[in-house]
Amino acid sequence: MKWDEECDVVVVGSGAGGLVAAITSAYHGLNTVIIEKGDVWGGSSALSGGGLWIPNNHVSKRAGLKDSEEEALTYMQEVIEDTGPASTYERKVAYVQNGHRMVKFLEDLGMKWVPGILYPDYYPEKPGGKIGRSIEGEIFDARLLGDFEKTLRTGEIEAPIPLYSGKVASLPKAFTNSKDFHTVVSMFLNGFKYKLKGHHAISIGSGLVGRLLKLALDQKVDIKLSTPLKDLVIEDDRVVGIQAEKQGQPLFIKSKSVILAGGGFERNQELRNKYHNVGTDWTAASPDNTGDMLLIAQKHQIDTALLDDAWWGPTTLNQNGSRKFLVYERSMPHCMIVDQKGQRYFNESQSYTDAGHAILERQEKNGRALPSWLIMESRNRNKYLFGDMLPRRTPKEAIESGFLIKADSIEELAGKCGIEFEGLSKTISRFNDFAKKGIDEDFGRGNSAYDNYYGDPTYPNPNLGAIEKPPFYACKIYPGDLGTKGGIVANEYGQALRNNTPIEGLYATGNCSASVMGRVYPGPGSTLGPTTVFGYISANHIKEQLSKHANSPTKIS
């Protein structure tokens, strides 16, 4: 084959996992190239909340968290069911042992971390569960990226100020208590400080990948935008290079190793029909994630798993067609989620992946859950942020476009939404009784510290409030996602497997691979945590393998 270029490591994808993999391999002295399909970089990571769930990390421990590898592994074993080759015990051990090492490694190179010390695991009451394992990057001045500042991937909705995901819970309830009010005020003052300095301050997902890209550039990583992967070149169960495309022409890069970190198949309607039976309109993932890695893997008969799953979560489509992945909105008092029969069917405040699974399971059971409906009453709209709508400020266009349905009675609301009134009336009566008692006897809403994290602390049960004071509002709820979570099966070293045997030199991490988290979401940052940690593991394993080959004795025939 005629090669156009040659390097030690090709990393496919410029999200957080790909960047950490590239930083690590380049640090080891390996000639490293990132190829990125899009004309912008950052992947779905740039659109995310930017948090990483990393047990036993020194940043959280420095802030007061008591944690250990043993407790982390106990927790993962407790909450992650055995889902086959993706979430093996060995993979969990590798994650727990290497996560905190990665955090320290990146910090030593210049990464600045911030702990989310109040952010709970999503099942904090389970054995080994904790509050405060999540970390994120410090707010970053994008001007330090030079020309790459202009090509950072941005989302449909940008935060008005730089902020931290570990403090976002204060935003929706800022006008209900002094503690959250002062937290939000300090966030705005901090944002104003950056503006006065003339910084282009970026935070959460974009801030994370911005900092990581700066480290990659410092390590002399070559980054090629608009360069999609077209195929792997595999000979005798070993990857020897890739075929990419640049400006419409084939580009063949010879490489000793390839790390696939190119995202899932969120935007491929054919694949979503095949594996999920949902559309592509509800996903919050990068528009470039069309399943290229999966299709190439299937062509080469590489092992795959968890293709039927995703990082699900209740999602709305607003008046201009953009998506809103609901995190805090469904946890506030004076709201609930029902199906078209008017019945509640899950704890609205539970983790988004569990909530998404609940919607899909309900649809499969009764065919009346797509869409479901989030029902709110006047006190919810008067007190709390909803998406980008301030309390007491419901834009007229939100009503006129049909994004929000407004009515003066529950019967009118049911009629406008096509919800069975009798069922909805009974559900609200029962729900209001729970709100008065402060106990959700059906689904346990408000029983967990995770539920309460996004709730209103001025209520006896921070997540429960009656639905009785008009006007009433409703909006459609769909099972959206942050990305698919099934794909290439990798072992504890990140090596891609075929017939349960490693393909030498080929690695996979992130949403193009089957997740170590199985079908659950253990804590805040359970997508970015694994993609970065296994990117780090993969690059370290490549260094070890290349060193072994370099030091092996020469055979004399």
Please state, as a whole number, how many other Cβ atoms lie within 10 Å of the Cβ of residue 85: 16
Alpha-carbon distance of 141 to 128, in angstroms, equals 37
Q: Which two tokens stand for residue 42?
A: 């950052």
Q: Render pLDDT for 55-79 as a digit per residue (tens, 0 to 9).
A: 999 999 999 999 999 999 999 999 9
User: Whose structure tokens read 């909450």?
Assistant: 79
Q: Is 80 exposed, middle or buried (0-12, 13-18, 19+ CB in 10 A)?
A: buried
Alpha-carbon distance of 368 to 362, in angstroms, equals 7
Q: Render pLDDT for 342-393 as a digit per residue (tens, 0 to 9).
A: 999 999 999 999 999 999 999 999 999 999 999 999 999 999 999 889 999 9
Alpha-carbon distance of 316 to 526, in angstroms, equals 22
Residue 551's pLDDT is: 73
Residue 557's pLDDT is: 35
Q: Render pLDDT for 281-327 as a digit per residue (tens, 0 to 9).
A: 999 999 999 999 999 999 999 999 999 999 999 999 987 777 899 99
Per-residue pLDDT at 554 exceeds 60:
no
Residue 505 backbone zone (phi > 0: left; psi -120 to 50: alpha; other: beta) = left
What backbone torsions phi and psi does residue 306 show, to the nearest 5 degrees?
60, 25
Please check whether residue 208 is in contact with residue 162, taking contact to mean a CB–CB distance below 8 angstroms.
Answer: no
What backbone torsions phi and psi does residue 239 show, to the nearest 5 degrees?
-80, 135
Alpha-carbon distance of 106 to 59, in angstroms, equals 12
Mean pLDDT of 111-115: 98
Which are the contacts of 23, defined by CB distance < 8 A and separation ≥ 6? 106, 109, 212, 215, 216, 219, 221, 539
Which letter, b or e, does each residue of 488-507 get, where b requires 16 or more Cβ atoms within 10 Å of its Cβ? bbbbbbbbbbbeeebbbbbb
Residue 451's pLDDT is: 97
Q: Which two tokens stand for residue 477?
A: 């709820």
In the chain the domains, ranked by start, together with CATH numbers, are 5-159+203-227+485-549 (3.50.50.60), 314-481 (3.90.700.10)
Per-residue pLDDT at 555 exceeds 60:
no
Percent above pLDDT 70 for the chain? 98
Please check whether residue 373 is in contact with residue 445, taking contact to mean a CB–CB distance below 8 angstroms.
Answer: no
Please tell me the pTM assigned to this model: 0.95
